[in-house]
């Protein structure tokens, strides 16, 4: 990269995008799993700290591979731009003990499933409760009917995801990282504006969210066709941009465009808001009162917490014991010790979940 300013801008606006992507009304369900508001705040803080540590862990393989195996991407040149994504496979195969590749694949599937099942259930629930039950059936759908429709919607969503994954797989000229950034900024960006800023800009007509999404789609199209990185770069004297700079600059331009134009459009809809014509004013007021009212755990919750902790601790200990079997794989002594340390750390966490006193956990 020739322009350090682009690195700084990418870092700053990627951070803004992640803040929007996590703190919005669609993804707030993750905080509803906590027993009260205090524990929800602790969960958010813990997730943030783990993300900081995880970021370093995620980047160790590409950093190390860039030094140890500079030609690693060439081994998978048939993948096109996605050849760089094979760096984790090269690192696990060449540097780690035998069996790590299988463990890596198991971790990838587990991480994908843990996010996918929540997303499919969430989207199905939104479709059933906000569209099918209120618009299609207009309050006539029973609980059983809504459950069945939710199951059908979940299957349809899953099939659509598989088809989109097959389509993305065919785009060999775009790397997985670049593809993820483009999808989240160009498509998800317009949707996140009303979901995020709707918590602060409250007096909008009921058509404002959909109009904002449509306007945001136009903004995304403008970034692709008109305000390209080369065009915007020429305004600031940035010439001869590299492929890496063009990719990250495009993402930055899209984020800035949605923050400025799409958000401004959503705010401008407040000019058309009329309290007397809002049929949902009471429900809306109650929603924000509920959102701002702290949730206090009910009596007897400690017993449920203890049961959950013991079950989770047992499962984690079983996982640690299962990982211990990997020391039987024919590896050098350092490889067997590495699997032993991984197994011991997982088993130890499970044991702490079961045995640490309630006072310490608080």
pLDDT tens digits, one per residue of 172-217: 666 666 677 667 777 788 888 999 998 888 888 888 998 999 999 8
- Residue 72: exposed, middle, or buried by beta-carbon count in 10 A (0-12, 13-18, 19+)? buried
Give me the pLDDT at residue 177, please.
Answer: 66
Cα separation, 161 vs 2, whole angstroms = 37
pLDDT (mean) for 123-129: 89
Give me the pLDDT at residue 33, please.
Answer: 78
Give me the pLDDT at residue 181, please.
Answer: 67
Cα separation, 217 vs 219, whole angstroms = 5
307-347 pLDDT, tens digit per residue, is 888 898 999 999 999 999 999 999 999 999 999 999 999 99
Q: What is the DSSP letter of 174?
A: S
Cα separation, 186 vs 251, whole angstroms = 8
Closest CA to 358 of 296, 303, 316: 303
Q: Is the pLDDT of residue 357 over 60?
A: no
Q: Is the pLDDT of residue 360 over 80?
A: no
Q: How many Cα atoms are found within 13 Å in the side-chain-facing hemisphere of 350?
A: 18
**What pTM value is reported for the model?**
0.74
| Residue indicated by tokens 């044991």 | 351
pLDDT (mean) for 12-38: 82
Closest CA to 149 of 116, 127, 130: 127
């Amino acid at each position: 990269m020739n322009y350090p300013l682009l690195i700084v801008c990418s870092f700053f606006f990627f951070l803004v995008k992640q803040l929007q992507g996590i703190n919005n009304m669609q993804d707030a369900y993750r905080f509803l799993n906590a027993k009260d508001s205090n524990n929800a705040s602790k969960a958010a803080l813990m997730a943030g700290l783990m993300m900081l540590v995880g970021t370093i862990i995620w980047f160790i393989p590409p950093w190390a591979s860039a030094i140890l195996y500079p030609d690693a991407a060439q081994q998978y040149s048939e993948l096109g731009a996605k050849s760089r994504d094979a760096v984790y496979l090269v690192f696990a195969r060449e540097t780690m003990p035998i069996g790590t590749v299988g463990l890596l694949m198991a971790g990838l599937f587990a991480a994908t499933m843990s996010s996918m099942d929540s997303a499919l259930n969430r989207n199905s629930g939104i479709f059933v409760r906000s569209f099918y039950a209120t618009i299609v059936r207009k309050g006539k759908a029973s609980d059983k009917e809504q459950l069945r429709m939710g199951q059908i919607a979940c299957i349809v969503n899953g099939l659509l995801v598989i088809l989109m994954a097959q389509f993305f797989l065919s785009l060999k000229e775009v790397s997985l990282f670049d593809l993820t950034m483009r999808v989240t900024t160009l498509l998800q960006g317009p949707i996140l504006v009303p979901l995020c800023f709707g918590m602060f800009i409250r007096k909008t007509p009921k058509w404002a969210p959909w109009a904002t999404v449509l306007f945001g789609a136009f903004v995304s199209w403008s970034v692709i066709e008109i305000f390209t990185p080369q065009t915007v770069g020429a305004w600031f004297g940035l010439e001869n941009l590299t492929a890496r700079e063009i990719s990250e600059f495009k993402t930055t331009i899209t984020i800035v465009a949605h923050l400025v134009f799409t958000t401004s459009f959503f705010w401008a809809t407040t000019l058309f808001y009329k309290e007397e014509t809002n049929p949902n004013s009471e429900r809306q007021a109650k929603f924000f009162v509920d959102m701002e009212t702290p949730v206090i755990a009910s009596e007897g919750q400690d017993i449920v917490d203890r049961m959950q902790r013991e079950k989770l601790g047992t499962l984690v200990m079983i996982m640690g014991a299962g990982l211990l079997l990997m020391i039987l794989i024919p590896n050098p002594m350092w490889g067997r010790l590495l699997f032993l340390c991984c197994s011991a750390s997982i088993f130890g966490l499970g044991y702490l979940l079961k045995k640490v006193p309630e006072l310490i956990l608080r």
